[in-house]
């Protein structure tokens, strides 16, 4: 299992009876987790000192109950590449004039020492961040830095699809890559921009695009665009900005095949995440080996991702990831 154990501002304190007790910075939340099927004593003091509790409804959905939780707060993540070299200087961006939302490329804030994320409780129990993905941020940001060391002056282009509030986008940009961030939600893209600004990456070479991911990739194929790394974090179900329907079991394989057409010949990585029980690590490995390894070579591996639990000393599984590297 790949474990996201480099956090200071986040931890799973305890789990029991379908819920997890989490510390997000200075605030403690209780949120549902369907994998927590065990009934263990609520011995951690945080269960009685929580700042927010999301209650599931028998009719679906649910609602928040607050106990001194602010409307918004921040947490920081110490990305390893920032610790070794916080100054990530970049060359001018040369993108296609056809692409909307292209930002002029400038150097990042040399004072940045960690990624900073704005959090707020919103519908469906979420806070705006999936902390288990930090283990993947560490992985591909290391690959980006290694590739740039091997070939000084190389400018890597990374594509982040279903990019949400930008955790992976910021990790790739902080490592020195030019990033294209695509999400169907205008609100999520705006939130990601706030995170970039707070992380000292407001002027980093990031294209912020509100678009349906499938249609965007189809256009990139027609344009002949290529990327050196692709991050794909698809939802189980979703809709595009014009009502396009995404169902992961039906859509992921054809979309994976489609997306390989915009991988460059000297691409360095591909990352596919899944929170769907039907897409287990072995399934991800099979798809990546079939769609990518047979064409580009390299190696594929897949595993569960998880978060350490302070009270038990065990690890809470949080989905799976499939990785390819050249």
The predicted-structure confidence for 105-149, as pLDDT tens digits, reads as follows 333 344 457 999 999 998 789 999 999 999 999 999 999 999 999
C-alpha 260: how far from its chain's center? 19
| Total-model pTM | 0.90
Confidence of residue 296 (pLDDT cuts 50, 70, 90): very high
Over residues 101-106, the mean pLDDT reads 37
Of 280, 279, 293, the closest CA to residue 324 belongs to 293
- pLDDT for 240 equals 65
At the fourth CATH level, which superfamily is domain 72-325?
Vaccinia Virus protein VP39 (3.40.50.150)
Q: Could you give the CA distance from residue 74 to residue 66 in angstroms, rounded to a whole number?
A: 17
Phi–psi pair at 230, nearest 5 degrees: -130, 135
Q: Could you give the CA distance from residue 27 to residue 16 in angstroms, rounded to a whole number?
A: 19
Q: DSSP characters for 170-221?
A: HHHHHHT-EEEEEES-HHHHHHHHHHHHHTT-TTSSEEEEES-HHHHHHHHH
What are the Cα distances from residue 211, in Å, to 92, 130, 133, 236, 304? 25, 21, 23, 18, 29
Is pLDDT larger for residue 42 or for residue 85? 42
| Mean pLDDT score across all residues of the chain | 90
The predicted-structure confidence for 68-79, as pLDDT tens digits, reads as follows 999 999 999 999
Tell me which H or E stretch contains 116: strand 115-119
Give the start-to-end residue ranges of the domains of the chain. 72-325
Q: Are 16 and 39 in contact (CB under 8 A)?
A: yes
Query: Which residues make Cβ contacts (< 8 Å) with residue 56, sequence separation at least 6?
Result: 18, 32, 62
Q: With the C-alpha atoms ordered 138, 139, 140, 143, is the resulting torsion angle positive or negative?
A: positive
Rounded percentage of the chain residues whose pLDDT exceeds 70: 90
| Paired strand residues for 316 | 307
Using the 8-state DSSP alphabet, how is residue 149 labeled?
H
The predicted-structure confidence for 301-311, as pLDDT tens digits, reads as follows 999 999 999 99
The predicted-structure confidence for 19-52, as pLDDT tens digits, reads as follows 999 999 999 999 999 999 999 999 999 999 999 9
Q: With the C-alpha atoms ordered 186, 187, 192, 194, is the resulting torsion angle positive or negative?
A: positive
**Which residue is associated with the tokens 């939780």?**
69
What are the Cα distances from residue 230, in Å, to 16, 60, 94, 291? 36, 34, 19, 14
């Amino acid at each position: 299992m790949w474990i996201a154990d480099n956090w200071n501002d986040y931890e799973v304190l305890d789990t029991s009876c379908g819920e997890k007790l989490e510390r997000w910075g200075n605030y403690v939340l209780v949120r549902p987790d369907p994998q927590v099927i065990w009934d263990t004593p609520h011995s951690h003091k945080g269960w009685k000192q929580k700042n927010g509790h999301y209650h599931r409804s028998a009719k679906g959905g649910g609602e928040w109950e607050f106990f001194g939780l602010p409307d918004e707060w921040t947490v920081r993540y110490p990305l390893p590449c920032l610790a070794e070299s916080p100054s990530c200087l970049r060359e001018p961006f040369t993108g296609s004039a056809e692409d909307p939302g292209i930002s002029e490329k400038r150097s990042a804030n040399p004072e940045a020492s960690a990624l900073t994320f704005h959090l707020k409780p919103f519908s469906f129990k979420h806070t705006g961040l999936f902390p288990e993905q930090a283990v993947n941020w560490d992985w591909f940001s290391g690959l980006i830095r290694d590739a740039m060391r091997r070939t000084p002056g190389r400018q890597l282009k990374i594509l982040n699809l279903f990019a949400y509030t930008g955790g992976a986008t910021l990790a790739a940009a902080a490592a020195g890559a030019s990033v294209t961030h695509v999400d169907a939600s205008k609100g999520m893209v705006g939130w990601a921009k706030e995170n970039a600004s707070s992380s000292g990456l407001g002027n980093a070479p990031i294209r912020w695009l509100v678009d349906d991911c499938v249609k965007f990739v189809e256009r990139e194929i027609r344009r002949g665009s290529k990327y050196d790394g692709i991050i794909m974090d698809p939802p189980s179900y979703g809709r595009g900005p014009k009502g396009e329907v995404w169902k992961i079991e039906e859509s992921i394989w054809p979309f994976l095949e489609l997306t390989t057409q915009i991988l460059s010949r000297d691409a360095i990585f591909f990352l596919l995440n899944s929170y769907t029980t039907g897409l287990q690590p072995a399934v991800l490995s099979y798809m990546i080996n079939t769609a990518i390894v047979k064409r580009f070579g390299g190696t594929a591996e897949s595993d569960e991702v998880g978060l350490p639990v302070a009270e038990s000393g065990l690890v809470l599984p949080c989905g799976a990831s499939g990785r390819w590297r050249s």
